[in-house]
Amino acid sequence: MATATKERGALTHPDVQHLSDVNRDVLKALGRPGKGWWALLSLCMAGMGLFFAAWGWQIYRGIGVSGLMSPVGWGVYITTFVFWVGIAHSGTLISAILFLFRAPWRQSVYRIAEAMTVFAVMTAGLFPLIHVGRIWHAYWLVPYPNSRFLWPNFKSPLVWDVFAVTTYFTVSATFFFLGCIPDIAAARDAAKGLRKKLYSLISLGWRGTDSQWHHFGKAYIFLAALATPLVLSVHSVVSWDFAMSIVPGWHATIFAPYFVAGAIYSGVGMVITLAVPMRKIFGLEAYLTTKHFDALAKLCLLTSMIVLYAYLSEFFIAWYSGEEIERTAFWNRLFGTYWWATWTMLVCNGIVPIMLWFKRVRYSIPALFVISIFINIGMWFERYVIVVTSLHHEYEPWAWGIYRPSIYEVSILIGSFAWFGFWFLLFTRLLPPVAIAELKEVLPPPLRKQAKEAH
Amino acid sequence: MTMTDGIKRRDFLKVLGVTGAGATLTGCSTQGVERLLPYVVMPEDITPGVATWYTTVCEGCSAQCGMWVRTREGRAVKVEGNPNHPVSHGALCAKGHATLQHLYNPDRYAGPMVREGGTLRPITWEEGEAMLAQRIQSAAGNVLYVGQAAGPTMSGLVDQFVGTVGGRSVQYDAVSSAPLREAARIAFGVNALPRYDMGSARFLISFGDDFVEYGASPVAHQRGFAHMAAADEHGSKGRFVYAGPRLSLTGQNADEWVPIKAGSEAALALGMASIIAGDGAAAGPYASVLAAYDARSAAEAAGVSEATVRELAERFASEGPSLAMGPGVGSHHRNATAAHLAVLILNAVAGNVGRTLHLEGGPNSAARPYSEMESAIRAMAGGQVGVVMVHGANPAYTLPQSSGFAEAFGQVGFKVSFATAPDETSAMADLILPDRHFLESWGDSMPKAGVMALRQPVMQDVPHFDSKQTGDVLLSVASRLGSPLGAVTFYEYLRNAHQAMHMPAMGDFETQWREALKRGVMEHDIEMSGTVPELRAPDTALVFDAPALDGDGDLTLMVYPSSRFGAGEFSNAPWMQELPDPVSKIMWHGWVEMNPATAEARGLREGDIVTVASSHGSVDVPVWPYPGIREDVVALAMGGGHTDYGRWANGNGVNAMALLPAVAEQPSGAFVTMATRVSVSPTGQRRRLATNDGSNGDQHDRPIAPAMALADLGHGGGEHEGDHGPLKELQGGGGFIPVDAEGGAPAAFPLAGAEYGQYADKENTARWGLAIDLDKCTGCSACVTACQAENNIPWVGEEQALMGREMHWMRIERYYEHVDASEASHLDIRFLPMLCQHCGNAPCEPVCPVFATYHTPEGVNAQIYNRCVGTRYCANNCPYKVRVFNWYRYSSENVPDPMNWQFNPDVTVRDNGVMEKCSLCMHRVREAENKVALEGRGTIPGDGEIVVACQQSCPAEAIVFGNLRDPNSRVAQLVQSERTYRVLDEFINTQPGVNYLKKVTFHAVSGGHE
Amino acid sequence: MKKHWLIGGVAGVFAMTGLAFVRVQDAQEMAAADSPESYASGQPIAFPHNTHAGTEPGQMGMDCQYCHFSAERSVDAGIPPVSLCVGCHQVIPGANLPEEVAKLMQYWNDKETIPWVRVYKTPDHAHYPHMRHIAAGIQCQQCHGEVQTMNVINQPDPAWGGTNMGWCIECHRTEGASDDCAVCHY
């Protein structure tokens, strides 16, 4: 009978004997936080302090505290915005698309991925606000009836961004929450005191009856179907911020698919970066097996190839177009002032992942961890290259200029990771990091009897 | 006419309440209560909200151009050229605009002060004048008055004053044409500067005379130059050759550059003359001199090929009427007078005297020699001076240490300074009696024989500064000494003087006086003899050889007056500090110019700080490699390295005078600026230079500033405007379809399919646009400062400028196409005034998320500051990079009181976090529209009714604003020219409303440059 | 069942707060200039507009532009110079408020200006040319209210919305005037 689940492509968890183990092992994560957790949290808090201090000063003093200048009007802020939006992608991809494609290996990782998605969007969403000159007027980008008879310019990709990002946040947050409900219920049963109250409130009275499971299943599929197109749309829209302009190096039709691939690539990379330590800290080796990482690694490999292809085609087309200005822009990317950024990007995103062709690498957790770090770095630099190198060397030779990020921009960049980490740490303590219910589904049937006893 | 009656100073202060000093973007939050402060008595010539104009005369330099000053509610907010003025004809240079920043300069002296134990103590005028009178009395006739070129009446008063109190007055002009004057005297017996009629010349050769930057009248000369050198509608164009070791801004405008050795002007000029004169008969008494020169000797001396000399000579003779101009201040060497004489001889033999060079009615410009000053210094050092009074001049800065001025000055018992604002000389003075700024005072000037221009106060003196016109002080001191000079106030004195000059033939004086104040000038017709003077035998022995140079360095030092600072007078005007130098494009700090080859040989890069040392001193200054200077010459500009001149001047750049000896040229006695050799040694330090030049003057084969060969004119050479060749190809390949806008292309806005609402009514709406003739533009940058003054554009300071955050709405791009310092060859340097192109198909518009930038029905690309959120997307998407961003609260943080009094109330002052750019002087358009509407003349102002700020001040008249839809408008006519092109339009289909007319070259232009 | 309401409620609250925020922001901007406390101090002289401009018996019925002299030829309406007031009040002691007229004469004798409290002020980034509106036949009262019936003016008239762009636009649209941004903002 075990074969049945096999056919469904689920990965077995040989070390798991009882369903009760699942509850125990997973919910153990929600127990008393250890020193390490507190240390990390306080680190993140400190980082957030830096983040808001820098931002506050920038609002008070003026956007001039950044290194931005003419001709480079966008820099680290937009780079980081795109970076986090990208990170946000894999979550929904893994949970929604893989769910629809019935790839049950996702079950162990999708909770982490989704959490990451939600928090990444929360982080990304801040950057458009951070980078505008008059944040106190930023709400003008929202269409609302006002005394001036004025609406935002729906032609402007920045307005599309507002919609894309907010929609994506709403849907992925709902999806995330919905998926959690059964597990929160499980946590509720295990928890006591205040936690119990909290869980019972947000588990929305889940009792695990068949009718509830039935509705849950329907709702889940429905939301998955709803979320899937967003994975593609959001980053396409973000890419249009660039593609819709006439800046050499931005104005390219390949941008949408190129960005989506890049986003998934960076997202999966980030999943690995986060999953590896969690697996260790919470002792989830039994649930996040090397097989799961192997699957993630393969996804990375695929997307990395797409991304590399995109890079190459960009250079090729620039040359093939015969457009002198276009050519100069890309030549300048490789050998201009910012050559180091470009080469970092190419090495991290194009060369390093080649190692993933080797099974041994895909199965070595440490190796994957290191590679995933490279991926994160590479993808940040990809955006930096697109934003900065294109702008600093445009049509008008006289107006060429060099942009140097300021300490404030760097602080806010670092701070954004702290802000993200802060929420993620809270998540690890408040919600089951692995989808208990779904795991149980894929455990071999023979265990079911015990399961009844256990439950 | 004036406001001297009517309102008192305190009321004047209150007037500001009516508008506030400039409208501010943050104005919408009126926390607390705002007061409306009416006049007590209304001056009849003021209407709130309506500008009042006064004529006066600029005192920025010795050229003394005529000015129109725009005042609003009693504040001077803008200066413009006075079209009635016979010399400047309505244009103004950058410095002229910056005089406003002297008027409102917060560093001005707050009032009369006396130095006690090293510190200044404020005193009353009463005390001050009493003290001065008493000291003069005790000085017993040993009074020295050091002045600078002032109007005839003021000079007259000074002489009269000095005469009565006993003593002497000397005048010192840091930038002086004494050698030319002396040469003219020797050659023709006329003690006046010759008048150049460039306009009617067809072949012009300048032996280093930088007439665009300084001299008799840069504005007038540029006007004439544009007439001569720009291609006219018949496709004819005068040729300009520049012979000198360094390309000044003037030189950059040449068609050919003959990079002669420093100091070899005389040899070349005489060589050419001897070739032209043949047997020498034409040279009259100088035939013998010419005999000593021929093509070979000249070529040897000048370091150019013999063929070059011959060719030059032949062209000079044949391509007449020709004109040769002598060495400028930058090459005043020990034989400067001889060099000027040689050039006059060249003109004479070519028959230019009386044709393009006139010896009558010449400009009355500064030409007083340094030798006067020299003797004055000796007198002071010798203790023969009891009281010294300094007015206008700043010798402690403009003279080298070695002149010993400082020491001598220090020895004088009582030193009085009439300086308006602190300077190096007044820093040593015992008594400071601050003069009024010329915009607050009375005076006159004689721009040329027979023309009197009047200077009148255009506003009450700025209340922050308790100043008094020096003329008034002298008069009152004189009467205190018991010898009144016949008038109580200088105004009265001035009137009397002019009444005395008044001839009954000219009608009633009173009316004529008022008329003169209205027009700004008073012309007495003086009869010109019309006779063409003959060359006279020299009455002094002159050597025409290369001048002697001090020191044994391997490089010759050239010190030239800065086109932004003059000899340093303008160093405390932030507009001038932040104006990219027309030649180097560097802001704020100083630099030493050095040929790239020379720099490379020494392993120097741009920004490396070097020690430039002569036998007289040394300075540490960053290197700027410049292809336009000979390998054996280095050049420093005047005007840097102030120590006591105010917050913006101090510490910026270096004072080149530290390197010079104090030598007076013989026989003219002029100060010698090209006097020494220097050695250059690296210090190892570096300093980034703030420049707006992002590509070292290389346009990378992009058609940003294309040119056309003269030969192609008339054959439809170059691509026709509105033609989208490359786009058409794209279209053929299935690319997007370009807006088809051939034929009056710029008028095509709104684009097909976008004509709805107010945009549909093409008949009754204009399409404002510009046409800029690049063949006329000299790159002088007057427009940049004019725009800054008109549109409340703040300065950002060196630190921000280094980051590339300067706020100019306009910049002059300077591209080197062909510059060769090694041998005589054609020169091709292109200037491009770059400003918002007001694209009909603007890339900045669709990307703005809030419609802060959009297209008005008149086809202007508008920027609505108060709607701007500051995403900077528009700037990223602007291919011309003409959008500037308020990174900080520049307008409030950088502009101290009372400088904000200069803000133009018709233009919103932008605050932190908003984008801005050229508005095509929207406020001037609205003003004109209001006017025509009230007069019931429809809705569109007629052609020429709207003059935008840049156009107004352009001396070369290169810029024309108008309605592109009106086929009869000047701008529409110009756009029809075959030279018209629109930057990048053919590539990205932006459909700009700003049209350029290509520069015309004599040589064939090649490649992407076309 | 309750839970559903809870969810709906929470969602609703979020939405509301979002919208509320922008509306408040917007409202604040409109309100900024005419917040009552700005005018607390009151006018230096209790100048009764009605006595001067009113048409009732015993009122002078003067034309607005007699004092606000530049309204029809300039962007600024103009505030009368002290001399203008004195022109009449030298001979007119002021039947109703002699003490106020005395104040005026005091200012005049001290050659002092009168620190009137500014009541009507459009933001500095919006240019309002009075003469164009008068030429278009707009009555002063349309914006400034029935001034001729008012006594001392310490507050903007309710009719006035000069800090609220919508107010300008509405009129521009109904009157067929241009609603191009750059007509007022430059």
Q: Shortest CB distance from B38 goes to which of C81, C111, C185?
A: C81
Contact status, residue B53 vs residue B18, Cβ threshold 8 Å: no
Contact status, residue B975 vs residue B746, Cβ threshold 8 Å: yes
CA atoms of B144 and B147, how far apart (whole Å): 10
Lowest model confidence (mean pLDDT) among A82-91, A242-251, B108-117: A82-91
A126/A290: higher pLDDT: A126
CA atoms of C151 and C46, how far apart (whole Å): 8
| Of B61, B560, B568, residue with least CA distance to B327 | B560
B30 neighbourhood in chain C, CB within 8 Å:
32-33, 38, 118, 121
Instruction: Tell me the ipTM for this assembly.
Output: 0.89
Contact status, residue B875 vs residue B49, Cβ threshold 8 Å: no
Q: What is the pLDDT of residues B247-260, one digit of tens each?
A: 999 999 999 999 99
Give me the half-sphere count of Cα atoms (radius 13 Å) on the Cβ side of residue C69: 13
CA atoms of A445 and B155, how far apart (whole Å): 114
Q: What's the pLDDT at C38?
A: 44
Q: Residue range B490-518: average pLDDT?
A: 87
Chains that touch C (3 or more CB pairs under 8 A): A, B
Confidence check: pLDDT of C54 > 70: yes
C25 neighbourhood in chain A, CB within 8 Å:
136, 139
CA atoms of A106 and A432, how far apart (whole Å): 15
Confidence check: pLDDT of A11 > 60: no
Please answer yes or no on whether A399 and B694 come within 8 Å at the CB atom.
yes
Confidence check: pLDDT of B593 > 60: yes
Percentage of chain A with pLDDT > 90? 54
Contact status, residue B586 vs residue B622, Cβ threshold 8 Å: no
Q: Which two tokens stand for residue B400?
A: 């080298």
CA atoms of C141 and A373, how far apart (whole Å): 70
Give the strands of the sheet with B994-997, arranged side by side: B959-963, B768-773, B994-997, B980-981
Q: Per-residue confidence at B732, pLDDT binned at 50, 70, 90?
A: low
Q: What's the pLDDT at B522?
A: 82
CA atoms of B933 and B925, how far apart (whole Å): 12
Q: Per-residue confidence at B10, pLDDT binned at 50, 70, 90?
A: very low
Q: What's the pLDDT at C22?
A: 57
CA atoms of B191 and B180, how far apart (whole Å): 10
Q: Residue range A326-355: average pLDDT?
A: 93
Testing the interface with C: which of B25, B29, B869 to mutate, by most C Cβ within 10 A?
B29
Q: Per-residue confidence at B368, pLDDT binned at 50, 70, 90?
A: confident
Beta bridge partners of B414: B387
Please answer yes or no on whether B33 and C80 come within 8 Å at the CB atom.
no
B881 neighbourhood in chain A, CB within 8 Å:
70-71, 394-396, 398-399
| C42 lies within 8 A of chain B by CB | no
Q: Per-residue confidence at B234, pLDDT binned at 50, 70, 90?
A: confident
Please answer yes or no on whether C73 and B47 come within 8 Å at the CB atom.
yes
Testing the interface with A: which of B871, B883, B914, B988 to mutate, by most A Cβ within 10 A?
B871
Please answer yes or no on whether C83 and B40 come within 8 Å at the CB atom.
yes
Q: What is the pLDDT of residues B391-412, one digit of tens each?
A: 989 999 999 988 999 999 999 9
Chain B nearest C-alpha distance from C57 (Å): 30
Q: Shortest CB distance from B702 goes to which of A133, A153, A325?
A: A325
Q: What's the pLDDT at B359?
A: 86
CA atoms of B642 and B425, how far apart (whole Å): 11
Q: What is the pLDDT of residues A410-449, one digit of tens each?
A: 999 999 999 999 999 998 888 887 777 776 766 655 444 4
Q: Per-residue confidence at A15, pLDDT binned at 50, 70, 90?
A: low
Chain A nearest C-alpha distance from C121 (Å): 18
Q: Shortest CB distance from A147 goes to which of C19, C164, C179?
A: C164
Q: Is A376 left (phi over 0), alpha (psi -120 to 50) or beta?
A: alpha
End-to-end CA distance of chain A: 22
A208/C116: higher pLDDT: C116
Contact status, residue B827 vs residue B818, Cβ threshold 8 Å: yes
Q: Is B515 helix (H, G, I), strand (E, B) or coil?
A: helix
Percentage of chain B with pLDDT > 90? 61
Q: What is the pLDDT of residues A17-45, one digit of tens each?
A: 666 676 766 666 666 777 888 999 999 99
Chain B nearest C-alpha distance from C95 (Å): 24
Return the C-alpha torsion angle B113, B117, B119, B124, nearest 10: -20
Please answer yes or no on whether A204 and C169 come within 8 Å at the CB atom.
no
Contact status, residue B55 vs residue C156, Cβ threshold 8 Å: no
Q: What's the pLDDT at B793?
A: 95
Q: Establish, for the pair of chains A and B, how many residue pairs have beta carbons separated by less than 8 Å.
A: 162
Chain B nearest C-alpha distance from C97 (Å): 22
Q: Shortest CB distance from B857 goes to which of C32, C116, C180?
A: C180
Phi, psi for residue C162 in degrees, rounded to 5: -65, -5
| Of B434, B490, B429, residue with least CA distance to B462 | B434
Beta bridge partners of B635: B558, B593
Q: Shortest CB distance from B888 goes to which of A64, A128, A400?
A: A64
Please answer yes or no on whether B851 and C33 come within 8 Å at the CB atom.
no
Q: Which residues contact B228 (CB under 8 A, 6 or more apart)?
A: B198, B199, B200, B201, B202, B204, B238, B240
Chains that touch A (3 or more CB pairs under 8 A): B, C
Q: What is the pLDDT of residues B40-57, one digit of tens each?
A: 777 777 788 888 899 999
Cα–Cα distances (Å) from B540 to A455, B185, B238, B341, B739, in that order, read 123, 11, 36, 12, 71
